Structure 1
Amino acid sequence: MTQNQGAPAPTLRALSPDQVATLPVDTLARSVLLDMTRSGKATVSVRKWASGVRRMYRGHPQALRAISESVAWLRHHMALVDDLSVSLEGDWITLSRHGAQWLSSGAPGVP
């Protein structure tokens, strides 16, 4: 299932736990990616970002599971890649060239 062409991804922080848990994975992945990159920094610590998400959706395991799936989806489709210039342990990630193109295009589905 994919989001509608041209439909903007909802803001992650504006979504209720039920909405997070029921969004298609690619739509939620775009929301997650936008949230991860909202600071404008090229590199993000997954651990630091995830701690804020855990606080936001505390007590809602289905929402946290859906967000975890979205992060895995982004990595699988190479929208997010490890930033080896910061760490070799996989905590620091960056938006790939492919992911940036997918994010800016607004195209649905697999980046």
Structure 2
Amino acid sequence: MIYMWVKKTSNPLKKLYCAAYNLTSRQYNSIKKQLDGRVSSVQELNLLHIENLKGRIEKTESTINRKWEQKEKQHQSLIKMKGNERNFFKKVDRYRKLRQHIHQKKRKLHSLKLKLEK
């Protein structure tokens, strides 16, 4: 049988922290493993958060495009109307609501893009 003897490198931080905070090596190793786990967890969550933001941005952009088309159709129908029809004011109200909805979605899209850049 061949035995490989692996020399463990002494970590200068380990010695420093053990001396400064009166820790044993076992306690230091336990704390270090927990912190390494938390760091890797945060890194994975950041990747998931980025993917989630990209999906939300795509959905918001598609909603804006769909609502924009609806607004254009509504606008064309309003142009054709004379203004004295029975449902004219309902169509004007719908048109204004669509414009406001698009405006708010654009604001949301901007904030999502800023979050993604962060």
TM interval, shorter chain, is: under 0.3
Question: Larger strand proportion, structure 1 or 2?
Answer: 1
Looking at CA atoms only, which structure, 1 or 2, has the larger radius of gyration? 2
Bigger RCO (CA 8 Å, 6+ sep): 1
Give TM-score scaled by structure 2 length: 0.24
